[in-house]
């Protein structure tokens, strides 16, 4: 039965697509995040899913992009995932049924399911139930998160997560706030908790010329992460402009309009900093 004020969407299918698709106003009745109560996670809001991804964990994967995010990263490629109203409201069972169709192929390609966003931990009950279903199908699972809501990932939740892709967007708290409009501390505490649990992590660092390329800032992340034996990789992701059209389409002010893509020499310098600190970096 549909929640009060929401259309019955029990026949809704989540559109297959890509992280570069623009979606907006698909659920105009959706609540703002501060009023959102997902209940038991039998329904959720999602942007799209992508098949054949090689970017979001080992093997060939399905990446599911959920709606909702509390950060406001200046370089966000997917501002159309920030608000629930831009996503599709969809029953859990539809996602699980669709995942089941792909499960044999994903297992044979040594891939699995990655849940990304937006921020999957805005919907911990929904994403947690999808992970549980994926594990019951014998799939490898990965959570792609910025860590701000790491406290919402209970130990039970993390039992169904094989790998965490953890974005650490800056070491310097002022730069972190400038980049994301949020505090870095919850992300660092989440990283420490994952290290204490021995949960496999790939740290991701988005490299933006003039914003996150300060050597001292990179070194701070590198020295923080290097002693963590659970961190298998640090991935340096060079900034690009592929998401800029979404900012314009949503009427948002895009601060990085004139920022160039991260050049190869800069990427090599930053990779060198992580490797010099003792990290596996790529």
Binding footprint of ligand SF4 on the chain (CB under 6 A) = 69, 71-73, 76, 78, 81, 117-119, 146
Phi/psi for 273 (5° steps) reads -65, -45
Helices marked H in 69-184 = 92-108, 124-136, 155-159, 173-180
Q: How far is the CB of 80 from ligand SF4 (least distance, A)?
A: 10
Residue closer to ligand SF4 by CB (options 13, 255) is 255
**Cis amide leading into 118 (omega within 30):** yes
Nearer to ligand SF4, 91 or 209 (CB): 209
- In the bound state with ligand SF4, the residue whose beta carbon lies nearer, of 72 and 282, is 72
**10 Å Cβ neighbour count for 245?**
12
Q: What is the DSSP string of 188-243?
A: HHHHHHHHHHT--EEEEEEE-TTTT--HHHHHHHHHHHTT-TTEEEEEEEE--STT
**Contact of 128 with 157, CB cutoff 8 Å:** yes
* Residues in a beta bridge with 142: 114, 163
Q: For CA atoms 169, 171, 173, 178, give the dihedral sign.
A: negative
63 versus 133: smaller Cβ distance to ligand SF4: 63
57/118 with CB nearer ligand SF4: 118
Question: Which residues, including other chains, have CB under 8 Å from residue 34's CB and lie 6 or more apart?
Answer: none
Quote the least distance from Cβ 33 to ligand SF4, whole Å.
Answer: 12
Of 81 and 212, which has the nearer Cβ to ligand SF4? 81
From the CB of 30, what's the least distance to ligand SF4, in Å?
A: 17
- In the chain, DSSP finds a helix count (H) and a strand count (E) of 8, 8
Smallest separation, CB 105 to ligand SF4 (Å): 27
Shortest Cβ 146–ligand SF4 spacing (Å): 4
| Residue closer to ligand SF4, measured from CB, 45 or 102 | 45
Q: How far is the CB of 250 from ligand SF4 (least distance, A)?
A: 12
Please, what is the minimum distance in Å from the beta carbon of residue 14 to ligand SF4?
A: 18
**Alpha-carbon torsion, ordered 88, 43, 187, 171, to 10 deg:** 0
Q: What angle do CA 7, 9, 15 make, to 5 degrees?
A: 130
């Amino acid at each position: 039965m549909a929640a009060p004020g929401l259309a019955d969407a029990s026949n809704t299918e989540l559109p297959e697509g890509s992280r570069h698709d623009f979606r907006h106003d698909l659920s105009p009745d959706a609540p703002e995040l501060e009023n959102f109560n997902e209940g038991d996670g039998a329904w959720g809001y999602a942007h799209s899913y992508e098949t054949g991804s090689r970017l979001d964990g080992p093997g060939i994967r399905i990446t599911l992009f959920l709606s909702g995010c509390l950060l406001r990263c200046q370089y966000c490629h997917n501002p159309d995932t920030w608000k629930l109203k831009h996503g599709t409201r969809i029953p859990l069972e539809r996602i699980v049924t669709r995942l089941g169709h792909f499960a044999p192929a994903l297992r044979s390609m040594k891939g699995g399911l990655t849940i990304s966003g937006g921020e999957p931990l805005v919907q911990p009950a929904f994403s947690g139930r999808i992970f549980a279903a994926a594990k019951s199908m014998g799939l490898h699972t990965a959570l792609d998160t910025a860590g701000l809501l790491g406290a919402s990932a209970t130990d039970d939740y993390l039992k169904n997560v094989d790998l965490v892709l953890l974005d650490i967007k800056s070491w310097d708290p002022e730069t972190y706030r400038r980049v994301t409009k949020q505090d870095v501390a919850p992300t660092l505490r989440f990283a420490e908790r994952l290290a204490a649990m021995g949960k496999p992590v790939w740290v991701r660092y988005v490299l933006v010329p003039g914003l996150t390329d300060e050597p001292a800032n990179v070194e701070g992340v590198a020295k923080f992460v290097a002693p963590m034996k659970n961190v298998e990789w640090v991935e340096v992701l060079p900034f690009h402009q592929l998401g800029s059209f979404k900012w314009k389409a949503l009427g948002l002010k895009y601060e990085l309009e004139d920022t160039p893509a991260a050049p190869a020499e800069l990427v090599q310098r930053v990779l060198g900093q992580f490797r010099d600190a003792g990290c596996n970096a790529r």
